[in-house]
Amino acid sequence: MAERQVKVTTDVGLHARPAAVFVQSAAQSSEDVTLAKFDPAAESQNRVNAKSILAVLGLDVRNGDEVIIASEDAEAVDRLAALVTEETS
């Protein structure tokens, strides 16, 4: 399983339109994709389905938060990490 922990650097985090773009990109993968808002105090991270707009919005990811993106599809993980960190491929 591919997994990346990245710091969200987009101005508004994953709210409204950026969350929709993120979910649409995740949905392109035939594999399951999960997203978690990193919490160093938690024993385990609350992973949600990255293909669900409600689940992604429910994480309340903001600029500066760290997230964990995981999937068997390494290309999807890289693509999604680039979306939230404004990296260019």
Check residue 89 and give its pLDDT. 37
Q: pLDDT tens-digit profile of 44-54?
A: 899 999 999 99
**Alpha-carbon distances of 64 from 38, 59, 76, rounded to whole Å:** 11, 14, 22
pTM (2 d.p.): 0.92
CA 33, CA 48: separation in Å to the nearest integer? 8
CA 72, CA 57: separation in Å to the nearest integer? 23
Closest residue by Cα to residue 35 from 54, 59, 18: 59
38 catalytic residue (yes or no): no
What is the domain count for the chain? 1
* Assigned token pair, 47: 């992973």
Q: pLDDT tens-digit profile of 30-39?
A: 999 999 999 9
Q: Which domain holds residue 49?
A: 2-85
CATH number at residue 79: 3.30.1340.10
List the catalytic residue out of 2, 4, 10, 15. Answer: 15
